[in-house]
Chains A and B, each alone.
Chain A
Amino acid sequence: MRQLSPWQELPLMEEDMSQSAVAELPLQPVQSRRFLKPETQTAMLFLLPSFLGFMIFMALPILASLGLSFTNWQLISTPSFVGFQNYIKLFTVDPAFYTILRNTLFFAVEYLALNIAVSLTLAVWISSLKRGKAIFRVIFFLPTFTPTIAASVVWLLIFTPDGLADAVIRALGLGLPNFLLNPTWAMQAIILVTLWANVGYNVVMFNAALDLVPKHYLEAATIDGANAWQQFWRIRLPLISPTVFFATVMTAITSLQVFDEIFAMTRGGPGSATATLGFAIYQKGFTNFQMGYASALAWVMFVMIMALTILQFHMQRKWVHYDD
């Protein structure tokens, strides 16, 4: 005979109770059916400003940009419909597009991997501390308060030729070129700065998730002889995998949109080594006044982000564990 857990018995009990209650209760007079319950109406009222804001400042511009991507609008002239010309030009004519696409994906993949690895490592280290957890959380979270443009300007001065970074590299005898002048190393400088600026967010989130892992699981594992690595890999990581999944999705989305650091530090250079989709949209739209073309680029970025997010949701079945 199959044993039922207390949780499985509960719905049956509720069902029985509700049936008997219906049978015993006297009939109530029929009340007029209202379209929405009062509490729903109140909730809708409070949500209305946010909804209106979303419609006016998000939904409409998004739809407008889709429409504009089929025009040759140059901001100060009347747009005219050009069909798929912008998209055709992007994929078949523009010599920079595939470089921009490659740069964007390269940045996203390397930054995402480094961000998750570094933030997870730091979070595990902080959670292992007996003292000073709060201090380290604050230290790593502080850069996320700093406006990225301001921080990037400071980093630009650090990385500028003959600047602090060059002096350190020379002193350590590393033999590296100046990061901002070398097409191979420039993207590494952008990744480093972006990591510095944003890693704290995931550190705090992972740290909170790690602190919620039930202690008795780890104690049981210790009694069974599991070492620290086994405890992390077999117990803690699976238990915080929903948080890791959320962080991975959000970080992937933001990494595909990277702009501030590139705008302030390299303007897409040297050459086109750090030109990404986010920067190209700005450059085409607000410097070259090719708004239709920039809108087409924005929709390519949207499709990329959507595809990557769908892929991540699909892949999560294999590694994310929900405590149902």
Chain B
Amino acid sequence: MKVLKKTLMLAAIGGSLFATAASAEQVNLTWQMWTGSDADTKSWQHLADMVTAKYPDIKVTLTTTGWVDYWTRLPVLAASGQLADIVSMQSLRMPNFYSLLEPLNDRIAADKFDVGAFTPSIIGGMSVDKQLYGLPYDVGPWVIYYNQDALEAAGVPLPKPGWTLAEFTDAAKKLTKDGKYGFGITPQNYSVLASAWGDKYVNDSGVLDLTNPSAIAAAETVIGFAAKDKIAPLVPSGADVGNVVQGRFYSGNVAMYVDGPWSIIGMKDKVKFKVGSTTLPRGEGELTAVTAGSGFGIATTSQNKDAAWKAIQVLTSPEALAFLAEGGRALPARTASQSSWYKVAAKDITNGGEAIDYSLTHSVPYVITNNWAAVENLFNQYFPPAFAGSADAKQTMDAIQSLAQQ
């Protein structure tokens, strides 16, 4: 009896020791991500589960927030020391928040991780001073979406990738009639279009330079769409101007507008016309299309950086990106995975794949300053009166330049 008791006791002690050792090896990671719908959240949860499937000792707990709230919460969480281990980051926000993330160059070199498998422009977008701070999962060049029915009715030939600014303006003029507009524009489109035309609004030292002749020339063209050519409707400087313009496109009120491939997934269900896509119009030279995208970094405050590095490699693996692409969720940042997105998301969009392809082969990193959010706010405030004709391009750019430096 005594022997049995001792055996059971030893077994119990051994079992508990084993359990303790096992739980000590278990790594619990947190991951903060934005989401737009339940379907989105399920996709991210699936990716979190993929990490555990590959590394059973790593468990990833996902927390999600809406897109707008995410960027308000992120600095607040950082300031209060509550950042997750894995932080999702958009390339346009990287200059503001890269200090929250662990530099990855040393890990990439040590593991011989193949950065060359990703579209170069998004690697540039996720980098600051040639140091990579996050692995990207998607990439997207801004393109023009058009109402194919409206173009055909107006006798406008469907635009080919690489079309010129003159061809674009001519098409938009023909499409502007009966209270409808050829083009829907937002103040934030300025930098995307200026980049496409090769105009510089940031100097070679990375400083905002909106008052140089090139930047002002681009502003004149953008403002001229509404103020001079009258091919674009006026927009207020209120919240979500992009959504207002998108809504006018969906309702058939404007025939063309600028957006990224991330909008395709919701577009086809909301319009009653055939949608087509082409590149942004180019200026004198070749198109230089800027791209944006998002990815995952490791918080500098994380206690489990090695595990987080393993996890973000899974989150951006070919399998994970293929899963997102097949759901139409994101155009994969990995070049080899992009074809699956074309087959699913772009299949009903006329020339959708070609527009993206052409733009990606002509893509450049989106040059922005570290106070870009403030600059975009000023675009939002100061372009609408210029669209309405109460200020010219130079006055507008002078005002924005002056206020952005405060």
Contact = CB atoms under 8 A, between A and B. Distances in A.
Contacts of A287: 373-374, 377
Best-buried of B78, B99, B381, B390 by chain A (most CB within 10 Å): B381
A266 interface: yes
A272 B235 contact: no
B385 A271 contact: yes
B90 to A, nearest CB: 15
Interface string A211-231: 000000000000000000000
B238 A75 contact: no
B233 A180 contact: no
A95 B402 contact: yes
A156 B236 contact: yes
Interface in B215-272: 233-239, 244
Interface in A222-275: 263-272, 275
A159 B406 contact: no
**B contact face: mostly helix, strand, loop, or mixed:** helix
Contacts of B406: 89, 93-96
B97 interface: yes
B380 interface: yes
A289 interface: yes
Contacts, number: 108
A181 interface: yes
Nearest to A159: B236
Given A95-B406, A271-B381, A263 B239 contact: yes
Contacts of A95: 402-403, 406
Given A75-B75, A270-B384, A160 B236 contact: yes
Given A95-B406, A183-B390, A271-B382, A76 B97 contact: yes
B226 to A, nearest CB: 10
Interface string B93-131: 000110110000000000000000000000000000000
- Size bin of chain B's contact surface: 20 to 34
Nearest to A264: B239
A268 B381 contact: yes
B388 interface: yes
Given A76-B97, A180-B238, A288-B373, 15 more contacts: A156-B239, A162-B234, A180-B236, A181-B236, A181-B387, A183-B390, A265-B238, A266-B238, A267-B237, A269-B381, A270-B236, A270-B381, A271-B385, A275-B381, A289-B75
Q: Which 5 A-B pairs have the closest CB atoms?
A: A269-B237, A269-B381, A180-B236, A161-B234, A270-B385
9 contacts: A76-B78, A95-B402, A162-B234, A181-B236, A269-B238, A269-B380, A269-B384, A272-B381, A289-B96
Interface of A: 75-77, 89, 93-96, 153, 156, 159-162, 177-178, 180-183, 263-272, 275, 283, 286-289
